[in-house]
Structure 1
């Protein structure tokens, strides 16, 4: 009877195909320590192209979690940090990382974004947590380092009057394939104008749970003629049954503004015993 081939004897390409189903923490702290063949396969850059550190829950990255214990035992790392794990992942990618999503618990996200701008030149998708005003202002300067960028997700839209227009201008100038933006916040007239002026070919735009006045919404719909997907669910500033809004949105393949309300409607809800901060309304309205 023939015996099954040992896993350690499998071709590296086959192991890489199998390891593609592992989580990042297993690739970092489990597979490499089985044998030399597994270590070689786990180090393949193709396994580190997608670095989503927001997936599932963040408890696994806490200092008391099993992952920290594994790093202390295997790497002699006695002060485990999420930033350190991120840098390990970026290093393993060897410049091939294409999809990075940063979690909200980084001590200094600006430093990690700068590091990625130098080490991840092939980035196509980037998702960022909420940044400080100072860090938001630095983001447009880094955009030219990601010429292949196609999708940007910002937990909150840059709040200063100049940061978002500057960001949109840099995306238009340096990222010819940029097509998708997701963010949330107060959309001001200059923000809507920046989208229409700099990113008219945008294909997908998500502004869910934003403060989005009707005038800004109509300006975006008029200016961004390339949109195929548009979502502004649970927004404040326009009525989701507004005939003009629905008419302009009819040309867009996937158009969803459900649950959006005028400010007056929110006041009526609140007077009737409702809340400004339920699941369908923005938490804070800032102008």
Structure 2
């Protein structure tokens, strides 16, 4: 925030105008460099002009709350202290910050990325679906299995959705989710998921989302049969990534041939199940990012 404030001060000096009388458009331009936390907990308290500028809905259309480390949202962190000091908030919660950001967006949020901190996923997702009807990009953390079934029900509330990023593929309702995306989101072209890709999941991708342009399945359990079914059904893919997967060999000739038509085709680090079992049996270290959780 310090850099942005210095820039704002230099603009004010050049215009020979008091801070409070600076043009709102100028302040909004400078505030685009601020983190959401600074927009929420610092800028509005400087003066009325800054409060007015910080409330501009254009500053809240991209709500990237996944960036950096989740520790900054903890009750003992600097952000919680800032809210306590400036707003008298006794118990800081991520859900409260999320609702503040969504409210500031005024229904115009287009991009939302959430960290794995949802204390009440069902309630938070319901709130987002109602207050953010214009979402085009949505990134969600792993949703508890008891709440997964709600995801397909929420999709119709985001008719403009173009990209969906799920930390973990829903284990029980992915075909229903794909069907809802096909039915209610005509501009949907980009999907990122990770998990066990079952035959019914591959069939759902091929039948419900054949117009996908970008698909990322990194670190998934992805048998060759499912992979070939996806590549065959999703004929408009321009980007496809299945790196560090288990279930097929990244040097398989048939897979390579099928992927030759795709502009960006990445499968590096993927291996057959028996190859992974051999490595684990050999005592190699496997607690790192190159291994997939085979569900």
- The aligned residue for residue 15 of structure 1 is 27
Q: Which one of 24, 35, 60 corresponds to residue 48 of structure 1?
A: 60
Distance 2:145 2:160 in 1: 26
Distance 2:247 2:141 in 1: 25
8 Å CA contact retained: 1:266, 1:276? no
- The aligned residue for residue 279 of structure 1 is 289
Distance 2:115 2:70 in 1: 8
CA deviation map 1:188-237 (0-9, x unaligned): 00000000000000000000000000000000000000100000000000
| Residue 234 (1) aligns with residue 241 (2) | no
Q: Which one of 40, 50, 60 corresponds to residue 72 of structure 2?
A: 60
- The aligned residue for residue 133 of structure 2 is 121
Distance 1:65 1:118 in 2: 30
- The aligned residue for residue 215 of structure 2 is 205
Distance 1:10 1:101 in 2: 32
Query: How far does residue 62 in structure 1 lie from its aligned partner after superposition?
Result: 1.2
Query: How far does residue 273 in structure 1 lie from its aligned partner after superposition?
Result: 2.7
Any idea what SS the aligned residue of 1:126 has?
A: strand
- The aligned residue for residue 248 of structure 1 is 258
Distance 1:2 1:279 in 2: 51
Query: TM-score if structure 1 supplies the norm length?
Result: 0.96
Query: How far does residue 8 in structure 1 lie from its aligned partner after superposition?
Result: 2.3
Distance 1:3 1:144 in 2: 48
Moved more, 184-193 or 131-140: 131-140
Query: TM-score if structure 2 supplies the norm length?
Result: 0.93
| Residue 186 (1) aligns with residue 196 (2) | yes
Note the residue ranges of structure 1 that are not aligned, 5 or more in a row: none
Note the residue ranges of structure 2 that are not aligned, 5 or more in a row: 1-12
Any idea what SS the aligned residue of 1:264 has?
A: helix
Query: How far does residue 9 in structure 1 lie from its aligned partner after superposition?
Result: 1.8
Distance 1:156 1:192 in 2: 15
Moved more, 172-181 or 74-83: 74-83
8 Å CA contact retained: 1:235, 1:261? yes
